[in-house]
Amino acid sequence: MYSDTYDVLKELVTLSNDKKVLPCSDVLDVLWSTRNACKPGYGVFDALFSVLIELGLLKEASECFLRMRSFRVLPKARSCNYLLHRFSKLGDKNSSLKFFDDMIESGIVPTVYTYNIMIDYLCKDGDLNAAKRLFAQMKDIGIDPDIVTYNSLIDGIGKHGELEEMVSIYKEMKKFKCLPDVVTYNTLINCFCRSGRMAVAFEYLHEMKRSGLKPNVITYSIFIDVFAKEGMLQGAIKFFVDMRRVGLAPNEFAYTSLIDAHFKVSKVDEALKLVKEMLEVGVKLNVVTYATLVDGLCNAGSIKEAEEVFRVMLKDGIVPNLEVYTALIHGYIKSKRLVDALNILEQMKENNIRPDTLLYGIVLWSFCSDENFEEAKVLFDKMKGLGIEGNYVIYTILADAYFKAGKSVEAQALLNEMQERGISPTVVTYSALIDGLCRLGFVQEAMDHFHSMPKMGLQPNVVAYTALIHGLCRNKCLEAAEKMFNEMLGKGIHPDKIVYTSLIDGNLKQGNIQDALDLGRRMTGSGLELDLHAYTALICGLSKNGQVSQARSFFDEMIEKGVKPDEVVFSCLIRKYQEIGNLEEVLALQNEMMKRGLTTVTSDVAVHNMQT
């Protein structure tokens, strides 16, 4: 009966919307005027409301709701939830909030699903305060949050960096017997990985397994991605191998992350083999994969291959996004092909893709490097004309370039404009700029900006020195890093753990074992305790340099001091003991891993075999 009514109303509304019969707004009035002609009941009004939502006539559905309310005939809560869901999917925050308030004011009793729709949407929108208010409200009126409610809040709060509050919500859900699921743990793991707290992420992975839940493709992909972004290829491979071992097929995200990891350590051929494998197993390349390929090839200086990938991407019907264009422009600039870079900027305009401040910054930097100030000024003015405000990076690039060229008047004019716009460069912003340039491989430019800070009235502090030294070590500029280290000591600036760990790692990668050990002693002598990162650098570095005995001593020391070794530390030692044929130590370490609930050693063997 209801379905027949629904079908008839759907046809009627469709015709109404095509202006072939009554206007859509009059359909409700007709139904109301004939309400007593047939079997009593108001289900027909709920059906009309639902039909309007299904057909995407959300504005008409809202108006229908208000008219129904004036007749004192209300749709079911389920139908109202459907409209809320549609508004949230469209990202229409104002309509979502208004309709939610209309529901409550009309006396419609919200369900847990109603609150879940709203809380999830508000969390994704970044309005955490509103989400928390609704969370408190639902509990006040006696509606118990379910797993969906808690997961939405944990995800929203965690992605905004409020990790302590995220953990508090997690503890609350367990307290009220709402058992965490795989989604809960994946969210916790992801947020701690993104904040650089890998040890905590691993703790949640082990807790997840102890609770009887099995990591899924997303769990493994998160770890693969974070290891890739940190340039830790072995860790990425380890989780990729583990994933297959337990019968999970890697998805495009896992493949893309591992491809990125290979590019980051300059293993271009291996990255391309993974692309081939990806296609062979039927996993399609998405826009993120293409962006990774273009970026990796450009960074490797293979601009022709990057152009070919770009052409294949277009042929496959994949629309390039901002990241793809940025990678290609970056590649052209590194290859001194500025005309091609500008052509890509025009192509972006034709495709309605708006360049961001970072992309303009890269091109402006290129103009300034060639002392092409007129072109830089034209581009800068064009950028402002499009409504893209220059940030501290843009102004810093231009001002620094003018200073270097001896154009102090122009540089000062830019600094004045910067201040007028309320953009004040600080040591923190310079540190971010230095770190960003080092990540892109522009080491000399990073050093130039570091040394230009005094011209801006700023004195480098521990944050700035740390950013530069870490970047120099990452780019294998150890001599320059050590020079900066001695300079900061001479100024009475105390290095932090990141500085010491970066230098220890850098020295070990160049085989300077004694220098690395001296740095370790200097670090502890200054009152800084070795943490997981420092121990990892020492143990893995010493192992690779054949000093397995010393590496094992540091391993025993870290356990004694309460620093929990993770899978990466165990893998370094096990791999080395495998190489020298010491199976007794291999088995001992494997047993220790299992006692600690860490990933089984099978994967480590697989990684070792894969590399040999």
Average pLDDT, the chain: 85
Q: Residue 345: its pLDDT value, please?
A: 85
Q: Residue 6: its pLDDT value, please?
A: 62
Q: What is the mean pLDDT of residues 506-520?
A: 93
Does residue 603 surpass a pLDDT of 70? no
Q: Residue 610: its pLDDT value, please?
A: 29
Query: Encoding tokens for residue 216?
Result: 């899924």
Q: What is the mean pLDDT of residues 293-306?
A: 93
Band (pLDDT 50/70/90 cuts) for residue 289 is very high
Does residue 196 surpass a pLDDT of 60? yes
Q: Residue 206: its pLDDT value, please?
A: 93
Q: Residue 602: its pLDDT value, please?
A: 44
Query: Encoding tokens for residue 355?
Result: 């360049």
Lowest mean pLDDT, pick from 230-234, 292-296, 335-339, 472-476: 230-234
Does residue 467 surpass a pLDDT of 70? yes
Does residue 438 surpass a pLDDT of 90? no
The answer to whether 464 and 431 have CB atoms below 8 angstroms apart is yes
Does residue 519 surpass a pLDDT of 90? yes
Q: Residue 367: its pLDDT value, please?
A: 80
Three-state SS letters, 324-366: HHHHHHHHHHHCCCHHHHHHHHHHHHHCCCCCCHHHHHHHHHH
Band (pLDDT 50/70/90 cuts) for residue 406 is low
Q: Residue 607: its pLDDT value, please?
A: 32
Band (pLDDT 50/70/90 cuts) for residue 69 is confident
* Number of neighbouring beta carbons within 10 Å of residue 179: 11
Q: What is the pLDDT of residues 93-122, one digit of tens each?
A: 888 899 899 888 888 889 999 999 999 999
Q: What is the mean pLDDT of residues 321-329?
A: 91
CA atoms of 274 and 270, how far apart (whole Å): 6
Which of helix, strand or coil describes residue 438?
helix
Query: Encoding tokens for residue 209?
Result: 């397994």
Band (pLDDT 50/70/90 cuts) for residue 611 is very low
Q: Residue 71: its pLDDT value, please?
A: 76
Share of the chain above pLDDT 70, in %: 88
Residue 159 half-sphere exposure, CB side, CA atoms within 13 Å? 16
Q: What is the mean pLDDT of residues 493-510?
A: 92
Global confidence as pTM: 0.63
Query: Encoding tokens for residue 310?
Result: 């770009």
> Which residue did the predictor score with more confidence, 445 or 210?
210
Q: What is the pLDDT of residues 150-193, one digit of tens each?
A: 999 999 999 888 999 999 999 999 999 999 999 999 999 999 98
CA atoms of 496 and 182, how far apart (whole Å): 37
Does residue 32 surpass a pLDDT of 70? no
Q: Residue 145: its pLDDT value, please?
A: 94
User: Which of 574, 564, 569 lies closest to 541 in space, CA to CA?
Assistant: 569
The answer to whether 494 and 464 have CB atoms below 8 angstroms apart is no
Q: What is the mean pLDDT of residues 403-415?
A: 71
Amino acid of residue 13 = V
Does residue 308 surpass a pLDDT of 60? yes
Q: What is the pLDDT of residues 131-142, one digit of tens each?
A: 999 999 999 999
Lowest mean pLDDT, pick from 50-64, 334-348, 416-430: 416-430
CA atoms of 348 and 352, how far apart (whole Å): 6
Q: Cβ-count burial of 465 within 10 angstroms (0-12 exposed, 13-18 middle, 19+ buried)?
A: buried
Band (pLDDT 50/70/90 cuts) for residue 92 is confident
* Number of neighbouring beta carbons within 10 Å of residue 161: 12
Q: Residue 217: its pLDDT value, please?
A: 95
At 101, which helix (H) or strand (E)?
helix 93-105
Q: Residue 279: its pLDDT value, please?
A: 93
Q: Residue 593: its pLDDT value, please?
A: 84
> Which residue did the predictor score with more confidence, 24 or 211?
211
Which of helix, strand or coil describes residue 13?
helix
Q: Residue 147: its pLDDT value, please?
A: 96
Does residue 541 surpass a pLDDT of 70? yes
Q: Residue 251: its pLDDT value, please?
A: 93
> Which residue did the predictor score with more confidence, 24 or 302?
302
Lowest mean pLDDT, pick from 56-70, 181-195, 302-316: 56-70
Amino acid of residue 111 = T
Q: Residue 264: its pLDDT value, please?
A: 85
Which residues, other chains included, contact 260 with Cβ-Cβ below 8 Å and sequence gap of 6+? 225, 228, 229, 271, 292, 296
Radius of gyration of the chain (CA): 30
Q: Residue 377: its pLDDT value, please?
A: 80
Lowest mean pLDDT, pick from 45-59, 523-537, 576-590: 45-59
